Amino acid sequence: MSPLLSAGEHAREILTLRASIALGPERSEYGCTLFALHTKKTYLAAQFRRVAAKRGKQRAIVAVAHSIVVAAFYILKRNEVYREAGGDYFERANPAGLQRYLVRRLERLLGHKVVLEPANAA
């Protein structure tokens, strides 16, 4: 038994842990995800907030990491430049759904019926 191993640990687990520490967080997919989440007004940050609200932070991190890997694959395959979709991508993708959500939220918050009228084009 090695003095470096605690009870129940296997040598392979220790090597994996040491390798991930040696590589550092900035080189791993998880580290890239965490760096991407600290940005604001980006697609990846918006995706994280959207998934985390429904599924939790850990699953959201995995979802964003997957998006980074898929985007990197296609960027390298097609030899393209990354085009940022923007932090409001999900709002622009479904404006009617956003409107319904916000009306329901106001009705729950205020306890009144909310009626939307189009603004006068002046």
Q: Which amino acid, residue 17?
A: L
| pLDDT given for residue 111 in this prediction | 87
From the list 52, 56, 65, 57, the residue with the least C-alpha distance to 25 is: 65
- Go through the chain and tell me how many residues it has: 122
Q: Is 99 a domain residue?
A: no
Q: Is 66 a domain residue?
A: yes
Q: Is 108 a domain residue?
A: no
Q: Is 105 a domain residue?
A: no
CB 27 within 8 A of CB 19: no
Find where tokens 């994280």 sit. 48
| pLDDT given for residue 119 in this prediction | 84
Return averaged pLDDT per consecutive 10 residues of the chain, 122 residues in all. Answer: 56 52 53 75 91 91 86 89 89 90 91 86 58
What lies within 8 Å, CB to CB, of 33 at 6+ separation is 44, 61, 64, 65, 68
Q: Is 16 a domain residue?
A: no
Q: Which domain holds residue 72?
A: 28-88
Q: Which amino acid, residue 20?
A: S
Q: Report the number of distinct structural domains present in the chain.
A: 1
Provide the whole-model pTM. 0.63
| pLDDT given for residue 18 in this prediction | 53
Cα–Cα separations (whole angstroms), residue 33 to 27, 47, 62, 66: 10, 11, 8, 9
Q: Is 58 a domain residue?
A: yes
